[in-house]
Structure 1
Amino acid sequence: MVLLIKTFRELSLEELYELLQLRSQIFVVEQDCVYQDIDGKDADALHIIGKKDGKIVGYARCFPPKYYFEEAAIGRVLVKESQRKYGYGHLILKASINAIAKHYKTQEIKLSAQQYLTAFYESHGFMQIGEGYLEDGIPHIAMLK
């Protein structure tokens, strides 16, 4: 998998279309969750893209401190279903953490994790904080690194 870090303006139209399609496939169709994925925030994000054979198979978006939280933020972390057995999620998350350190000059990161993925995030140094909550009908928990 080839990793790319791009601003919104650096994304090609094809990449934007492909990443929005993949986000919709996973977060709306696969998870059976009707919500507005296109939230107007992509223009402010760093986009972490994992490509294999020229196609996007992994993705996350990152935000600077004080955008969502006091800390920098990572969200929309995903790996295409057919590619999950290769550990690409770990590579995407590591690239996101490194991109935040490089672009935003901080190691403090907060995210809203789907609760079934807490062990995944904990393996990268995140710790659960607070109580669980529902976000778009899916159990989540805040996590901090």
Structure 2
Amino acid sequence: MLTWQLCNFDALSARHWHDIVRLRMEVFVVEQNCVYQDVDGHDVMHGVRHLMGTENGQLVAYARLLPPGLTYDNVSIGRIVTKSSIRGRGLGHQLVGQALSLCEDLWPGVNVEIGAQEHLQDFYASHGFVAFSEPYLEDGIPHVDMRLDKA
């Protein structure tokens, strides 16, 4: 069972920040063999929230919630990641569900947009997201923009 915690950057402990960056690099840089600028300046911006899912005291799931206008016109969820050792248990769906619920609490009625890795399009579609762009390369990985309409 995951325990959820939501913080802005200033409320993160040094340990939390270390664990977040380690998990993001473990998956996005090492596992996916993708060299890119992960720490992009958005983590510290006003209104951004960090959703952490821990199990047995270890960070195993994470997502970054961004307010409207920061990366998309609408709310955005990014850096959605689960530790490889917990995959296959449905915890990624729990992470996205938790992130969407919190986005609704923080920004009621606002659409949610994501830049999804193309191979995860069906996963996000199962949460109501619909593609609204053609596939494009981001950091060498095919992506597609997807939106969850709240109207």
Residue identity opposite 1:100 in structure 2:
C
Question: Partner residue of 2:18?
Answer: 17
Instruction: Write the mapping of 1:1-145 to structure 2, written as runs, cut at 5 A.
Output: 1-44=2-45, 45-145=48-148
Name the one with the larger helix percent.
1
Consecutive unaligned residues in structure 1, runs of 5 or more:
none
TM superposition score normalised by structure 1? 0.97
Equivalences, count: 145
Give the secondary-structure state (helix, strand or coil) at the position aligned to 1:105.
coil
Is the CA contact (8 Å cut-off) linking 1:72 and 1:106 kept in structure 2?
Answer: no
> Once superposed, which parts of structure 1, at least 4 consecutive aligned residues long, lie more than 3 Å away?
none
Give the distance between the partners of 1:55 and 1:115, measured in 2 at CA. 28
The alignment yields a C-alpha RMSD, in angstroms, of 0.9
Name the structure with the higher strand share: 1
CA distance in 2, matches of 1:107, 1:50: 24
Quick one: percent identity of the two aligned structures?
38
The 8 Å contact of residues 65 and 72 in structure 1, kept in 2 or not, is answered as: yes
Partner AA of 2:63 in structure 1? A
> What 5-or-longer segments of structure 2 have no aligned partner?
none
Measured after TM superposition, the shift of residue 105 of structure 1 is: 2.2
Deviation at 1:5, TM superposition (A): 1.2
Q: Which amino acid aligns with 1:116?
A: H
TM (norm. structure 2) is 0.93
